[in-house]
Amino acid sequence: MTPRRGPLTIEVALRPWAEGDLPLLLRLLGEPEMMEHLGGPESPRAIAARHRRYMTADPATNGLFAIVAGPAAEPVGWVGFWEAEVRGETVWECGWSVLPEAQGRGVATQAATLLIAEVRGRRRHRWLHAFPSVDNAASNALCSKVGFECLGVTEVEYPKGHLMRSNDWRYDLPAASNA
């Protein structure tokens, strides 16, 4: 077993995606280890284009955040939500990614919980969906842990032109806010 570096858990926060986050995105999307369940690494050019889209995204229909951790508020990942069509209905869809050195310490779980609170505050759509690969045990476990309901296996297109077998996880925002 590989020993973990640092404490078992780290306090995290979300901050809006910023111009200086391109190096973080290059690590999150450009390394094979990080993109194992998502069709492989993106090219530096594609990542730069994605970064520009993140910087110009409409805040009414997107929430894109850097996950920052520890006392130095060091960027360790990404989490976000955006509008999507699922079964003919407009819903929120979400995703996340955490650097290897911050994995296994509760970072993604805390970030997903903060994201759910942010999405719930929008009061725009009832459902929040996540579509992790059926082979991504960590992301599927996270969905279960934070209260998503698994609706079953589906195919999603990611990256463009590539169908991926995913679990469709759904979170009921109004029901959770009334609990």
pLDDT by residue (tens digit) across 97-143?
999 999 989 999 999 999 999 999 988 999 999 999 999 999 999 99
Which pTM value belongs to this model? 0.87
pLDDT at 1 over 90: no
pLDDT at 179 over 50: no
Q: Name the band, by pLDDT with cuts 50, 70 and 90, for residue 162.
A: confident
Q: Does domain 12-177 have CATH number 3.30.420.590?
A: no
pLDDT at 151 over 60: yes
CB-CB contact of 30 with 24 (8 Å): no
Residue 85, pLDDT above cutoff 80: yes
Given this model, what pLDDT does residue 110 score?
Answer: 96
- What percent of the chain is predicted at pLDDT more than 70? 89
The mean pLDDT of 2-21, rounded to a whole number, is 77
The mean per-residue pLDDT over the stretch 12-33 comes to 90
Distance of alpha carbon 175 from alpha carbon 179, whole angstroms: 6
Segment 17-39 shows an average pLDDT of 84
